[in-house]
Amino acid sequence: MNYKNILFEIKNHIAVVTINRPDKLNALNGQTIDELEDVFHSIKNDPDVFVVVLTGSGEKAFVAGADISELNKLDVLSGKEFSEKGNRVFRMIETLDKPVIAAVNGFALGGGCELALACHMRTASENAKFGQPEVNLGIIPGYGGTQRLARVINSARALEMILTGDMVSAEEAYRIGLVNKIIAQAELLNRTLEIAEKITAKGQQAVRLALKAVKATDNISLAEGLSFETSLFALVCGTEDSKEGTAAFLEKRKPQFKHR
């Protein structure tokens, strides 16, 4: 697929996906959602990609939300389809078996905040602002915000954001656990790539099983989670990388992971 609103490159096992509609603050129109779905399909099927970094073009916005010009035309049925499609694509990102890091380079509002929430980790530039301003438009979040925000921060803070529509600064987002790190705008992509590079240097079987184990806590009880962890731990013990990683430590050398 030839992308109109997305830039995509793969380097050293890291895929960088950039939402590229800077004149509309990278707002997600239908075409951009389709392109995101397509790009994440190809990332899923590409064994050369170990980690994904998702960001926005320009220095002002990560994604300023769903495209409001399209929201304005929705009725009950098309609204349902709109929400189902966004949720399908964001769920695909969330359930990808490779880590996805959002580098939030400015406004992450509405669908932008929801997109960042669907990623596994979030870094933010100092000027980043997070918000769920849907109530200002007379609507509610429809790309997972009512579900994921309360799971990432607490439900009272999530409700405050969703019911007031107020934006939260990068500093506040860091304080409430919405972002992992705040980084100067000029350094954001490189420092986020450094985190991604650290992950690419590990045995990828272990990375994927660890990701699967941690993300499973979204849906199951602690007891079920511990039992799930045990089964994944047993699996990872059967990989070549687990033998290599432990042997390398004991032999005081760097591991040569084969991702098997």
Chain residues that interact with ligand COA, rule: CB under 6 A: 24-25, 27, 64-69, 107, 109-111, 133-134, 137
Distance CA 156, CA 141 (A): 16
Measured from the CB of residue 87, what is the shortest distance to ligand COA in angstroms?
14
For the chain, how are helix, strand and coil distributed in percent, rounded to 5?
A: 50, 15, 30
Cα separation of 114 and 148, whole Å? 8
Instruction: Respond yes or no: is residue 94 known to be catalytic.
Output: no
Closer of 24 and 215 to ligand COA (Cβ): 24
Q: Which positions ≥6 away from 224 have C-beta within 8 Å? A: none
Question: Which two structure tokens, joined as six digits, stand for 135?
Answer: 């109530």
- Least gap, CB of 207 to ligand COA (angstroms): 33
C-beta of 140: minimal distance to ligand COA in Å? 9
The widest CA-to-CA distance across the chain, in whole angstroms, is 65
User: Nearer Cβ to ligand COA, position 135 or 236?
Assistant: 135
Q: Which is nearer to ligand COA, 50 or 90 (CB)?
A: 90
Nearer to ligand COA, 50 or 62 (CB): 62
Residue 52 C-beta: closest distance to ligand COA, Å: 23
Rounded to whole angstroms, how far apart are CA atoms 153 and 85? 25
Alpha-carbon distances of 133 from 17, 60, 66, 120, 130, rounded to whole Å? 25, 17, 11, 22, 9
Which among 37, 134, 171, 197 is annotated as catalytic?
Answer: 134
Annotated catalytic residue: which of 114, 171, 224, 229?
Answer: 114
> 134 an active-site residue?
yes
Tell me which residues are annotated as active site.
Answer: 114, 134
